[in-house]
A and B are shown apart, each in its own frame.
Chain A
């Protein structure tokens, strides 16, 4: 079971996380979208650069074409300012003539170009048009150059564009576009750049953070239409990414605001709802409808209509429940009293049945004897009338009559005794009056009264007592107790057993409490029900008509009425053993009459 507090906090956090995830996803989406737009824009810009280079080269091409038509080229001024070198190569690619703008050139008349990038470019020349080379490595001090070539007659005319002018063009474009421009070889190496102070020495392959400048760059690469080098535009984010910056800055701020708002919400939610409800629960636990002054710790919350209504409803319902509980308890007690009375009457009824049965035998015997006497008298009278009566016959008749009378007297005495006993039992059991009595005698009386019940089972009784114990108490209670104990043993312990022993030991303890140790050699009580045997209506013989009240009544009588205790000995395995401990009932002990 989850607590309200946990559920609300978990829900709020889950909602917060969901919102943050959505926020960052949207932010990423927006950033990617913006980046794409920027990259498109920069690609277009790179195209513009390519066009500018195109114009630059075309100017040189036009100039070169003019030069190629001249025969009298000799001076530097003929090639300046557009070109730094002009070579005349024969069909073996050896320089036959050379015009240099710089004195530091490494090329000389007679120099042969038979391998390398320049050789590859010139040797692949076809036709009669001016061809432009990519930016390639030049034999001049390991530098680079853009070359133009045209065949003039049997010679090749090769011009190298003044690279400083080209760099100046790139530099101007960088200023205008606020992006560095790199001309790279296909291997990714920088051939030349608009800015000697690049933030990296090798062209980064992807947008990457420069360890020096800690800035990200947009790297836009296109292949030049004029030469086959790559034109790479390196644009610092800071120049184009204002919208990106806004998104980058705004997103975490918004996230923080959302987190703050949720934190405040959770705080106040906890403070104004969860905490008071928890206090309400604690107060309700302590709620006692009997108290007039109730200490309420959540008075503020009672200003909330729903909470107040909840509280009032709780109070009303509690009272109703309490009232119902009282009624039920009263009804229960009444029903229990009736059942106990009914049990009493039932046991009395059993006793009556037992006594009736017992009386029936001696009365039957008496009637039989009286009938026999009547017949004998008739026979005697007949003999007398016939004058057949002899002395011997008379003596025999008198003997028979004496015997019959003796039997009748004994039987009637038995009946009288039974009735006396029953009367005593019935009176004492139902009178409810406290008196002094011998528990030993009472026990004997109960045993006799139940003879009919136990004789069928061949149950032997052993009453063990070293003294005669006189009690001052309600004898009826003891009749009930012993009757129920014995009947319980007979009905349950010896249900499937045809013979056994019931031992009842009466003794005292050092505190002068009366101890009754009741054992039987029946089937015993199963361990799993031992704890329940004194509960009302608990029985294992419900289907056989058991009420489940026998032991409960004993318990009730011993504990509530006699202020004693009764326990089942769980360790006794030879049947069932009950130990009764009764306080303040013993008044005298006497030696037993022999």
Chain B
């Protein structure tokens, strides 16, 4: 009798320790905007869910955190993330938020790793830190856009810039100017404190045959600006940054959409894997995602690849990326440099009605 009870106890303990001995899933925090059912945040979270489902990944847990892309909220959200014992963070927020976050993560360099999918600020370029960037920095980006606009040899380009996201738009404008060879004017506004009538008047008073909306963050304001430009000059070409590849931007562009040329990190119209992703996403979730969500999909794939080789610590993952550099992802080859930065092609899509 005693032997039976003892044996049962031993077996139970073995099961219990066996269960406990299993590795817990790797927690990954996603800092994004989720307020009011934002399609930005929902696209990104759903992109990660889609990856985990398609690949039957059980050992990664995605935990969303809403920072509203507000730099003032970043410290509080970062604290919540760290209190939840999460070491890996994927962000899609703006450059302004990214700079704030870097100040915090620099204090725990080897204990935290941040994947930037939405920040292009050159303040984070070429630095040996705990940031891994999945998109090129603003200099390379603006050089591409400038070179593209140069091809058209416009008489006058009107740049409409959002100064609220100055950590992106200020260096962006500087680099654009370095490479743009034509004439241009600049109208500044702030999405936080916007006077549409004032902007309307400024546009009305401007002379241009092309417009470049220097706006980030998938803000639908780009669509509004496109409409204003279109009303003034229905023939003007309107260029969007790659940070406007969102359904809401397309929806708010109105008739101006036919004049829009949108830059994109992916060869959307040609690349079958991108098209397949968009279609699968729509089927799964019932709405079209932002193109930024592809960056997160790719990011989690890279993290998963590294995790499968037994590396889970922030420092370990970072060192592996720096050492390995080239990763095969669902959207093709991705190359990192020795600082964890990226250089990518930009593609330009005219009249993006069918983008989604």
Task: Give the interface of A toward B (CB within 8 A).
Answer: 5-6, 9-10, 103-108, 110-117, 119, 137, 139, 141-144, 184-187, 189-192, 201-202, 211-212
Contacts and interface: CB of A to CB of B under 8 A. Distances in A.
B254 A111 contact: yes
11 contacts: A104-B195, A106-B224, A111-B224, A111-B254, A116-B252, A137-B39, A139-B248, A187-B42, A190-B37, A191-B36, A202-B45
A142 B1 contact: no
Interface in B317-336: none
B81 to A, nearest CB: 11
A139 B220 contact: yes
A184 B37 contact: yes
Q: Which are the 3 A-B pairs with shortest beta-carbon distances?
A: A116-B251, A112-B254, A189-B37
B28 interface: no
A202 B34 contact: yes
Describe B's contact surface by its main secondary structure.
helix
Given A139-B223, A202-B64, 15 more contacts: A10-B1, A104-B194, A104-B195, A108-B196, A110-B228, A111-B224, A111-B227, A115-B254, A137-B248, A139-B224, A142-B220, A144-B36, A185-B37, A187-B287, A201-B34
A141 B196 CA distance: 12
B259 to A, nearest CB: 13
A139 B252 contact: yes
B53 to A, nearest CB: 14
A486 to B, nearest CB: 62
Contacts of B38: 142, 189
A143 B287 contact: no
A187 B37 CA distance: 9
Interface residues of B, number: 43
A115 B288 CA distance: 14
Nearest to B37: A189
A144 B35 CA distance: 10
B186 interface: no
Contacts of B220: 106, 139, 141-142
Given A104-B194, A108-B196, A111-B227, A142 B40 contact: yes
Contact of A137 (B37, B228, B254): B37
A110 B229 CA distance: 11
B34 A190 contact: yes
Contacts of B9: none
Contacts of B254: 111-115
A422 B200 CA distance: 161
A488 to B, nearest CB: 56
Given A106-B221, A110-B227, A111-B254, A144 B37 contact: yes
A201 B255 contact: no
Contacts of B15: none
B127 interface: no
A312 to B, nearest CB: 32
- Chief secondary structure at chain A's binding surface: loop
Contacts of A191: 36-37
Contact of B84 (A143, A202, A212): A212
Contacts of B250: 115
A219 B25 CA distance: 26
Interface in B1-15: 1
Contact of A190 (B36, B63, B227): B36
B351 interface: no
B286 interface: yes
Contacts of A9: 1
Contact of B1 (A6, A106, A111, A117): A6
Contacts of B37: 137, 144, 184-185, 187, 189-191
Contacts of B219: 141-142
A211 B84 contact: yes
A192 B45 CA distance: 18
Nearest to B65: A201
A108 B251 contact: no
A201 B255 CA distance: 35
B193 interface: yes
A560 to B, nearest CB: 50
Contacts of B41: 201
Contacts of B287: 187
Contacts of B248: 116, 137, 139, 142
Contacts of A119: 251
B191 interface: yes
A117 B37 CA distance: 13
Contacts of A139: 220, 223-224, 248, 251-252
B197 interface: yes
Contacts of B224: 106-108, 111, 139
Interface string B50-84: 00000000000001111000000000000010001
Contacts of B285: 187
